[in-house]
Amino acid sequence: MLQCLAWLLVLAFSWSAVLAQETAAPANQGWGGVSGRVVFEGDLNDPALKSYREDLKLYAPIRIQKNLRGITPRVTGTVPNHALPIDPRTLGVKNAFVYLRKKPARIHPAPTDRVQKPIEVVCHDHIFSPRELIVDVGQKVRMLSPDGPANFYNDTVMNEPFNRLVTPDKPAEWTPQKREPFPLRLLSNFQPAAASYWLVVDHPYAVMTAADGSFKLENLPVGDHELTIWQEVVGYVEKKLPITIRDDEVRELPPAKITVEQLTRPRRSAAP
Cα–Cα distance measured from residue 145 to residue 189, given in angstroms and rounded to the nearest whole number: 13
* pLDDT tens-place string over residues 129-172: 999 999 999 999 999 999 999 999 998 999 999 999 999 999 99
Query: How confident is the model at residue 85, as a pLDDT?
Result: 96
Residue 4 clears pLDDT 70, i.e. is over it: no
Domains of the chain: 28-53+83-112+204-272 (2.60.40.10), 115-201 (2.60.40.420)
Residue 74 clears pLDDT 90, i.e. is over it: no
8 Å CB contact between 153 and 163: yes
Phi, psi of 58, deg, nearest 5? -110, 140
8 Å CB contact between 125 and 162: no
* pLDDT tens-place string over residues 83-136: 999 999 999 999 999 999 999 999 999 877 777 789 999 999 999 999 999 999
- Within 8 A by CB and 6+ apart from 68, the residues are none
* pLDDT tens-place string over residues 222-260: 999 999 999 999 999 999 999 999 999 999 999 999 999
Helices (H) and strands (E) in the chain, counts: 4, 19
